[in-house]
Every structure is written in structure tokens, then in C-alpha cells.
Structure 1
Amino acid sequence: MDFTVGALIDLDDYVASTRARGRSWADRQLDQADRAVRAATAGQPVTCEPLPPDEWLVTLTGDDPDRLLGQATALAEQVRAGIVRATELTATVSLSAPRRGPGAERDALRTNAYKLLLGGDRVITAPPEPRPDAPPPVRIEAELARRIQAGDRGGAAGLLTGWVDRCVQERDLAPKTLHNWLMGELLFVVDVVNRCRLAGGSTDWVDACARLPIEELITVTEIHERSYLHIWIEETLTRLMPQAERDILSMAESFMATHYTDPRLRLSTVAQAVSASPFYISHLFADERRTTFLRHLTGLRLRHARMLLTASAVPIDTIAARSGYLSAKAFRGVFKRHVGCSPSEYRRTHRSPAP
């Protein structure tokens, strides 16, 4: 049985260029690129299949795997040069390893995923085995949360895209690993922006996933171009962080998020701060958030307490005071009632070991 090599030809930055230059320009570039691909492959013993919107799959066969891979590499460079001459774009050609039987297209697609890490305008050969999964080189959750809570969508998107550009510099990184890291950051964003919380302070993920289904988030795993990934991140954060209206409930929640550590905070205090009646604010929490003022306040306090318990060695009494409770006894009672265990038990179970 002959060997097969798949060559996936992918125009660089096609989506971003289309948005910047317009559809008619993009259509002309696509037509000219198609002619260049067909001119380079004409008269050769290959098959060429367009994969809309901006890719072509060329399949080569032969009985000598080394010679076949050399032919595929030469053809890839020829195609790239032809696209540069005929269009205002560049192209990346991703090659599969020579293999017997079907699967060349799948392997070429897998190779093309490395374009996200390596950049475009090149020929990419079958990648080596990636290193084992590791944590990202830098963590941005604290600053990301600050920008989200400030309503700074552009700042949050810029922080995430800059973090992606830093991560791709890691040696032996696999696209799957980068996608997993990014998925983790996006779920963190969902957690921060979601206002519907359970009594223990954790996110109501049933409500969160109803607002932004997980299958829409995981489309990020299909992106193999950094320019488009930046666009996708900006659009996703715009959806996750809609422009806040200065309504009573938003102002009440903002005031609570700033003052929940004050043990004297009451419904009447918040009502006075936002110039509304306590009854009206209670109605808004019940109608818009399907919760109560007290449950929302308790959720804010316990979320902060759980973070301190897992991330620090601060004494329980100090955590109680920093979380808005007048006494450690009151804090322990509320914590056990809503979380299901004492603060000390929670710390022993969830705190990460010191490095």
C-alpha cells in the first residue's frame, strides 16, 4: 500500500483581514489564492480539495515515505510563493507525516493547530510529542478580577490576549494545553461576572451555563490563528460583560461589593446609599436574581472568607473580622450552616500545601 501525505493550505489572518478590509476585498483575495493553489498543483499526481472558507487540502501519494515528504515540502513552498505573488496575503502549509491508509487529513489538521503557537507564513511539519501538561507561566486572576469588577471590558480583553501571547512563548507547548489554560481563565471570568450565587458563596453554575452555554466557550479549541483568537476573546468578554446600566439593582450590588466587609452593613444602609426603599431593593433581588439581600451579602462574605482560608494562614478570628462578622463565633455559625463544615475543617481540606 502506498504512503500518503496531507498538506493543509491555510490563508493567514483571513478573518481579521476580512473584518478590516471588507467582504468584497476578501472574496477577490480568496479567488486569486484558489487560482494560485490550482496552478501550483496542476499536472501533478495529487488531489486538491477546497475547505471553505480559506483552506485547501492537497493529498500526495507514493511508495517512498522520505521522497514523498520531500515532494510535499517542495510543493508547499511553491504554493506559498504563488499565493504571495497573486494576493495581498500569506499562507501556512501544514504537513502530515507519511502514513499508510486513511488519516492524512486528520494529521494535517492536527499539525495546523500548531500555527496558533508558531505563527503563520511558514511550512509546519508534524510536531513532536508535547511535554506533559504544566501550569501556565504566569497567573492573572487577581488583576483580571479587578478589571472585570471595574467594568473595564477592554482592559480585561487586553490582559487576556497579552497573557496568551506570553504563554505561546513556552517551549514544547501543545495547542491543547494552551486551550485548556484559556478555558480555565474564561470559566474564571464567568465565575466573577455571574451575580447569581448559592448560599455558600459559590457560583450558581446552572444559571451561569444558561446565560453562556459551555459549548459556545469550547469553540475556542477550534481556533488556530492568534489574530482570530484575539478577536474571539474580545467578543466573548463583550458578551460576558454587557455594558452595565445604572439601575438601582446594579448600584446596590456595586455598593455591597465594596462594603460587604463592614459588619454594620444592612439593607437600610444600601437603600439609603442608592436612594431607594428597602422594600424595593428586596423585590429586585427576588425578581431579578432569584435570591434575597441577605443571601447575596452572605455569599459575598463567605466567598471572601473561603479565599482567605485557602490562600493564607490568617487566624480564623482575623478572617471573621475581614469578612464582615463582629465575632468569630457568629462567623463559624454562618460558615458551617452554609458551607457544611467549620472554617478550620474547610482550611484543612482545601488549602494547597506550601511549596
Structure 2
Amino acid sequence: MSYAVAALVDIDDFVASSQVQGQVWAGRQLRRADRAVHAAAFGRPGVTCRPQPPEEWLMMLTGADPEALMSEATALAEEVRARIVRETAWTATVSLGVPRLGHEQAQREAEREARLANDYKLVLGGDRVISSEASSARGPLSPPVRIEEELTRRVRAGDRNGAAGLLAGWVDRCASERDVDPGTLRNWLIGGLLFVVDVVNRSRLPDGSTDWVEACARLPIEDIVTVGDIHERSYLHIWLRETLGRLMPPPARTDILALAETYLAEHYTDPGLRLSTVAEAVCASPFYISHLFAEERRTTFLRHLTGLRLRHARRLLTTTALPVDVIAARTGYPSAKALRGVFRRHVGCSPTEYRRAGLRP
């Protein structure tokens, strides 16, 4: 009787490091990794090694004793990892199946189990040996946190990088949950992507519900299927940036200005409101917000904010008997003195004088 067990060697963060360092550098590192893998296998009876381009190697171990075979596979996995760390700029993950009895069919099953184990790299991270025990069944889970409100804000602001970063950080947070498995993590992510599609899509059916036929045209089925092939979070982050770049149209300058004006209209009573606060809320730079107010509205951010506050203050002065200090607090000024100063500069009189004039028949 002969048993077979597979060990899948997978370079960690291959795509991300190749993008940073370049393909020439990556090719040189791959040659070093290939030598390291084959050196670890050399001289071991019953071990074959087959490259799986661009950054994987499938090692197949055969033998008569399944327990001894598994012990040898674990030792080989640790040696491969150590050699790759020593001889390249990378780390590696080695995923092990379980011994299977037979010949060709057994080897195919052994490879399949090793790849299923390697899928857990998505939740466990790299630089480790992963056994098939990692793929035991879990019960249904719920995401530890929800990000729809913040995600909506970033999507509507057209902040592609911000939305992708938020989703990527959320995936990392979810992956750290106890007992989460790759399938559950992908389901949560696909739900997040469909949520983005719904926010971006403006087509609605007559009853007001989302036109999902139109909406899903923005996220082709091939993209959703691709998520199932990703087992590394660094690459998943890259994929998210690319996918959201296609899903989200670039923001128009008028949209950003409208968002800024809406935010101001909702928050002008906050005495701590600043240009930087608004810029962060609409995911644009303070300089760009100032530029839009100057070019599109022929005014400044501060004048626009002051106008909102004074308009409210004048209304309260002429329609209520509230004291000036209370009106100051309700219109975004820290004190009655601050309100009086702004009033004199922009209206030409004090709040009390304005009230008297406004109450005159």
C-alpha cells in the first residue's frame, strides 16, 4: 500500500512585493526560491517537486506509513520555509493535506486538500505551515462590526481609495474573528461590494426599489468569481482598489462642492467646525474645497460659513426673545462677545440693535 500527501509552497505577498520592487527583482527572487524548494526536496526518497507558476510549488510525498509520511511532510514544510526566508527576501506558507491511499487519484485528492488548506491563508495570514485541520466546519457567524454608514459617505464623496481602504480594513478586522473561515469572509466581502453597487447605482424601479439588473451590470459575475480565487489579503487589498476604481465614477467637482455645502448646512452650529473638518468629511483636501468656493461661488469658505450662522442669528433675533448669549451658542459662536464682533463687521450694528430694528412695526 502506498499513501500520498501534498505540500503546497506559496510565496507570501508575491503580487504586492512585485508591484513595489518590479518584475526584474521578482524574477530574481523566484529563481532563488525555486532553488531553495528543490534543495529542501533533494535527497528525500519519495518526494517530487513541481513548480506551479508564478509563485507556488507542489511537493508530493509518498510512502507506506501514513503517520511517518505526515511527520516527514511537516518537517519538510518547515525546512522549505526556513530556506526561503534565508535565501530570498520573502516568507512562504506551506499547506499540507492528509495522507491518501492510492496512486494517481490519491495524489489528485492530496493536492486538492492542500489547496483547501492553503485557502485558510486568507484568514490566518502567511509565514506558517497550515494543515488540513484548519478547514474544519464552523457555525454561522455575523460580522463583528458594520461599516455601511461610513462606506456610504466615502462612496458618495467619490473617494475610491478611502472606500477601498475602509473595506480592506474591515476585512482584516473580520479575519481576526475567532472561528471565521475563508468562505464566510468572502461572503461578507461580496455583501459589502454589492452594497457599494447599490449606493453607486441611481436606477430605481417604479416602486422605489433598486434595479438590480442595472446595478449588477457594474459588478460582472467574473469579478465576484475572482474573489473565490484570492487567498492572500495583500492581494485582496490590491483587488479591492482596482474593483472600486471601476465601480465608482470619479467625483465631479460640483458634487464635492455640493457635499461640502450640505455638510456646512447641517453642522454650522458647531463652534469647532473648521475647513479641515469639512474637507475630511467629504474626502477632499482643504485647498481644493477653498478653490471650489472661490471659483464656483465667488466667495470663501469662511464667508459662506459666516453667512449661514448670521442668517440663523438674525432669524432668532427677530422671531424669539432668546438672550444674545443663547443665540450665540445656537449659531456656532463660543460667546455673545464673538457674535457681537461678527455682527458689527458684517451687519454694521450689534445684535441688540438689530433686534430692536427688526421688532419695530
Q: 1:131 aligns with which of 138, 162, 165?
A: 138
| Deviations, residues 211-234 of structure 1 (Å, cap 9, x unaligned) | 331221231121111111111111
Query: Are 1:9 and 2:9 matched, yes or no?
Result: yes
| Structure 1 residue 49, shift from structure 2 partner | 1.1
Let me know the Cα RMSD of the aligned residues. 2.2
Residue 103 of structure 1 aligns to a residue in which SS? helix
> Which residue in the other structure is 2:24 paired with?
24
Query: Are 1:77 and 2:78 matched, yes or no?
Result: yes
Q: 1:142 aligns with which of 138, 146, 149?
A: 149
Mark the runs of 5 or more structure 2 residues left unpaired by the alignment: 264-295, 297-361
> Which residue in the other structure is 1:294 paired with?
none
**Quick one: distance in 2 between partners of 1:254 and 1:193?**
15
> Which residue in the other structure is 1:199 paired with?
206
- Tell me which amino acid in the other structure corresponds to 1:67: A
| Deviations, residues 230-261 of structure 1 (Å, cap 9, x unaligned) | 111111111111213358xx79x989x99xxx
- Tell me which amino acid in the other structure corresponds to 2:77: A
- Which structure has the larger Rg over C-alpha atoms? 2
* Cα distance change of structure 1 residues 64 and 219 upon mapping to structure 2, 3 Å threshold: same
Residue 92 of structure 1 aligns to a residue in which SS? strand
**Quick one: distance in 2 between partners of 1:123 and 1:67?**
17
**Quick one: distance in 2 between partners of 1:206 and 1:68?**
52
> Which residue in the other structure is 1:156 paired with?
163
**Quick one: distance in 1 between partners of 2:50 and 2:216?**
38
> Which residue in the other structure is 1:303 paired with?
none
**Quick one: distance in 2 between partners of 1:203 and 1:218?**
23
**Quick one: distance in 2 between partners of 1:108 and 1:151?**
41
> Which residue in the other structure is 2:126 paired with?
120
Indicate conservation of the 8 Å contact 1:130/1:172, yes or no: no
- Tell me which amino acid in the other structure corresponds to 1:68: L
**Quick one: distance in 2 between partners of 1:80 and 1:19?**
23
Identity %: 62
Indicate conservation of the 8 Å contact 2:120/2:135, yes or no: no
Question: How many equivalent residue pairs?
Answer: 256
> Which residue in the other structure is 1:36 paired with?
36
> Which residue in the other structure is 1:220 paired with?
227
Indicate conservation of the 8 Å contact 2:5/2:70, yes or no: yes
> Which residue in the other structure is 1:238 paired with?
245
| Deviations, residues 180-207 of structure 1 (Å, cap 9, x unaligned) | 1111111111111012222222222222
Within-5 A mapping of 1:169-184: 169-184=176-191
Q: TM-score, normalised by structure 1?
A: 0.68
| Structure 1 residue 31, shift from structure 2 partner | 0.9
Indicate conservation of the 8 Å contact 2:120/2:182, yes or no: yes
Mark the runs of 5 or more structure 1 residues left unpaired by the alignment: 259-274, 276-355
Indicate conservation of the 8 Å contact 2:157/2:259, yes or no: no
| Deviations, residues 141-179 of structure 1 (Å, cap 9, x unaligned) | 122112111222222112111111111111111111101
* Cα distance change of structure 1 residues 223 and 128 upon mapping to structure 2, 3 Å threshold: closer
Indicate conservation of the 8 Å contact 2:5/2:73, yes or no: yes
> Which residue in the other structure is 2:321 paired with?
none
| Structure 1 residue 128, shift from structure 2 partner | 4.7
**Quick one: distance in 1 between partners of 2:177 and 2:109?**
29
| Deviations, residues 36-57 of structure 1 (Å, cap 9, x unaligned) | 1111112222111111110000
**Quick one: distance in 1 between partners of 2:176 and 2:234?**
16
**Quick one: distance in 2 between partners of 1:103 and 1:217?**
26
Residue 94 of structure 1 aligns to a residue in which SS? strand
Q: TM-score, normalised by structure 2?
A: 0.67
| Structure 1 residue 115, shift from structure 2 partner | 0.8
**Quick one: distance in 1 between partners of 2:113 and 2:240?**
27
Indicate conservation of the 8 Å contact 1:5/1:60, yes or no: yes
**Quick one: distance in 2 between partners of 1:212 and 1:180?**
15
Indicate conservation of the 8 Å contact 2:10/2:94, yes or no: yes
| Structure 1 residue 82, shift from structure 2 partner | 1.3
**Quick one: distance in 2 between partners of 1:166 and 1:246?**
33
Indicate conservation of the 8 Å contact 1:36/1:83, yes or no: yes
Indicate conservation of the 8 Å contact 1:3/1:99, yes or no: yes
> Which residue in the other structure is 2:116 paired with?
110
Residue 57 of structure 2 aligns to a residue in which SS? strand
Indicate conservation of the 8 Å contact 1:183/1:218, yes or no: no
Residue 228 of structure 2 aligns to a residue in which SS? helix
> Which residue in the other structure is 1:56 paired with?
57
